[in-house]
C-alpha cells in the first residue's frame, strides 16, 4: 500500500542520513574525510541490522542518482579553470600520466588474472580517478595551498576530474550497450569532449543571464532553486546530445564557478548536496558483501589478494605522475602522493559496473576496498612528504 511504502521509505532515509552523519563525524574526528565514514555506515546497514532497509528500493536508487548529479555539479563549482591554466603544461602532464598509467595497470592486471575485457575496462577506469577534495582539505589544513607543488596537484586533480568524467561517460555507454564497441566508445568520448568545449564557449552567456535574472527575483530560495535548475537543464541537454548527464552537471558547475555569485551559489547548494550525496555513498557501502573478505575460505582469500593488488596498482599508478613534474626545486613525491586518493568518481565507476552486472560482487568489494585504503593512505603520506 502507498502508506506503507512512504513509511518504509522515510524509515530507510532516516537510518541512511543518521548513519552517514554519525560515521562521517567519527571519520572527521579521526582525521579522515567524511566520505569514508559514510561508506562504513553503508557497510553497517548492509549487514541487515535494520530489517526494513532494502537495497533495491527504487526510491533510494533515484535519490542516489540525483545525489551523483548534484555531487558532480558541486565538483564543477569547485573547479578553478584559472588555476588549471596557471599550472600549465606541468599539471596537464601530471594529469595525463595520472590517468594513463593507472588505467593501464588496472586493465593489465585484470587481463593477466584472466578476467573479462569489460571488467578490465571498468577496473582500469576506477583507478584513474583522483579526489581533489581530499587532497585540497589536507593541503588547506597544513597551510600549504600556496606552494607550487600544491598548485600543480590541485590543477592536475581538476584536469584528472575532467578526463575522468569523459571516461566515465564512455564507460556508461559500454554499460548500457553491454558490450565493448570501440566506435561507440570513441563516439561517446568525442561527444562528451565536444559538449564540454561548446558549453564552456557558449555557457558564460547563459550563466551570466541566469545570475541577472536571479538578482531581479524576490522569491525565497531563488538562488539555490535556479542553480539546481541550471544543473538539471545542462544534465538533460547532455543526455539529449548522446552523452552522460553527469557531464552536463559538471559543466554547469564550472560555468557558475566563473560568475560573480560563485561563493553564494556554493554556500546555498552545499546543504542540498549534503542531503542527497550521502545517500549515494551509503548505498555504495551497503552493497559491499563483507562475507567475501572472510579469510577462512579460499574464495575470500582470493578477493583479499585481488584488493591488495588493486591497491598496489592504484598507488603505483598515481606515484608515476611524479616523474612528469619538471622544474628545479619542486617536490615530485609530494605531487605523486597528492594524486593518490580516489573517492567519489572511483566509487561511481564501481557502482555503474556493479548495477549493470558487468562487475561481480567480489570484484566490486575489492574496488571499494581500494578506494577506501587509498583515501586513508593519502593524508598521512602527504603530510610526511611536505613536512
Could you give the 3-state DSSP secondary structure of residue 327? coil
Residue written as grid cell 584528472: 160
| CA separation for the pair 255, 78 (Å, rounded) | 11
Give the largest Cα separation in the chain, rounded. 69
**For residue 256, what are the contacts with CB-CB under 8 A and spacing of at least 6?**
76, 77, 207, 210, 227, 230, 262, 265
**For residue 75, what are the contacts with CB-CB under 8 A and spacing of at least 6?**
132, 133, 161, 250, 253, 344
Domains in the chain and their CATH numbers? 2-46+59-386 (1.20.1530.20)
Please give the grid coordinates belonging to residue 153. 596537484
Please give the grid coordinates belonging to residue 295. 579469510
| CA separation for the pair 159, 130 (Å, rounded) | 10
Cα 129 to chain centroid, rounded: 7
The CA-based angle 134-137-138, given to 5 degrees, is: 90
Cβ–Cβ < 8 Å for 200, 251: yes
Q: What is the DSSP string of 2-36?
A: HHHHHHHHHHHHHHHHHHHHHHHHHHHHTTS-HHH
Indicate the Cα dihedral angle 294, 297, 300, 305, nearest 10°: 110
Q: What is the DSSP string of 64-90?
A: HHHHHHHHHHHHHHT--HHHHHHHHHH
pLDDT tens for each residue of the chain, 387 residues long:
445 588 888 999 999 999 999 998 998 888 777 777 888 898 899 888 888 888 888 888 889 889 888 887 887 787 666 665 666 678 888 888 988 999 999 999 999 998 888 888 888 888 987 776 667 666 766 677 667 787 788 777 767 766 776 776 677 677 666 666 666 667 767 776 777 777 777 777 777 888 888 888 888 888 889 899 999 998 898 888 777 687 788 788 888 888 888 888 889 998 998 899 889 888 878 877 777 777 777 778 888 899 999 999 999 999 999 888 877 778 888 888 888 887 666 777 777 778 877 788 888 888 888 888 887 787 778 878 877
| CA separation for the pair 252, 232 (Å, rounded) | 9
Tally of CB atoms within 10 A around 357: 10
pLDDT at 117: 80
Cβ–Cβ < 8 Å for 153, 373: no
Predicted TM-score of the model (pTM): 0.71
Cβ–Cβ < 8 Å for 329, 126: no
The CA-based angle 349-374-340, given to 5 degrees, is: 85
DSSP 44: H
pLDDT at 180: 61
Amino acid at each position: 500500500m502507498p502508506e506503507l511504502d512512504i513509511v518504509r521509505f522515510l524509515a530507510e532515509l532516516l537510518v541512511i542520513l543518521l548513519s552517514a552523519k554519525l560515521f562521517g563525524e567519527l571519520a572527521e574526528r579521526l582525521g579522515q574525510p567524511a566520505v569514508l565514514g559514510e561508506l562504513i555506515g553503508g557497510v553497517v546497514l548492509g549487514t541487515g541490522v535494520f530489517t526494513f532497509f532494502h537495497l533495491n528500493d527504487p526510491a533510494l536508487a533515484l535519490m542516489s542518482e540525483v545525489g551523483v548529479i548534484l555531487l558532480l555539479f558541486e565538483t564543477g563549482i569547485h573547479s578553478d579553470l584559472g588555476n588549471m591554466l596557471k599550472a600549465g603544461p606541468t599539471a596537464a602532464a601530471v594529469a595525463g600520466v595520472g590517468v594513463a598509467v593507472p588505467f593501464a595497470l588496472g586493465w593489465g592486471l585484470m587481463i593477466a588474472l584472466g578476467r573479462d575485457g569489460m571488467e578490465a575496462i571498468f577496473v582500469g577506469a576506477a583507478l584513474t580517478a583522483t579526489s581533489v577534495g581530499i587532497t585540497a582539505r589536507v593541503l588547506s589544513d597544513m597551510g600549504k595551498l600556496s606552494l607550487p607543488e600544491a598548485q600543480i596537484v590541485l590543477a592536475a586533480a581538476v584536469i584528472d576530474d575532467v578526463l575522468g568524467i569523459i571516461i566515465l561517460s564512455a564507460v556508461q555507454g559500454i554499460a548500457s550497450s553491454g558490450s565493448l564497441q570501440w566506435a561507440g566508445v570513441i563516439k561517446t568520448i568525442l561527444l562528451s569532449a565536444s559538449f564540454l568545449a561548446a558549453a564552456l564557449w557558449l555557457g558564460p552567456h547563459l550563466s551570466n543571464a541566469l545570475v541577472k535574472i536571479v538578482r531581479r527575483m524576490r522569491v525565497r530560495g531563488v538562488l539555490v532553486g535556479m542553480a539546481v535548475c541550471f544543473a538539471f537543464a545542462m544534465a538533460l541537454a547532455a543526455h539529449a546530445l548522446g552523452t552522460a548527464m553527469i557531464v552536463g552537471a559538471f559543466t554547469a558547475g564550472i560555468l557558475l564557478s566563473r560568475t560573480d555569485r560563485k561563493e553564494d551559489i556554493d554556500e546555498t547548494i552545499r546543504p542540498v548536496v549534503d542531503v542527497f550525496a550521502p545517500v549515494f555513498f551509503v548505498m555504495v557501502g551497503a552493497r559491499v558483501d563483507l562475507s567475501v573478505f572472510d579469510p577462512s575460505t579460499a574464495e575470500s582469500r582470493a578477493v583479499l589478494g585481488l584488493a591488495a593488488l588493486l591497491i598496489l596498482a592504484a598507488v603505483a599508478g598515481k606515484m608515476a605522475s611524479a616523474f612528469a613534474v619538471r622544474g628545479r626545486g619542486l617536490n615530485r613525491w609530494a605531487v605523486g602522493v597528492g594524486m593518490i586518493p580516489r573517492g567519489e568518481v572511483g566509487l561511481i565507476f564501481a557502482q555503474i559496473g556493479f548495477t549493470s552486472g558487468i562487475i561481480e560482487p567480489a570484484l566490486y568489494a575489492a574496488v571499494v576496498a581500494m578506494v577506501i585504503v587509498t583515501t586513508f593512505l593519502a593524508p598521512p603520506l602527504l603530510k610526511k612528504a611536505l613536512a
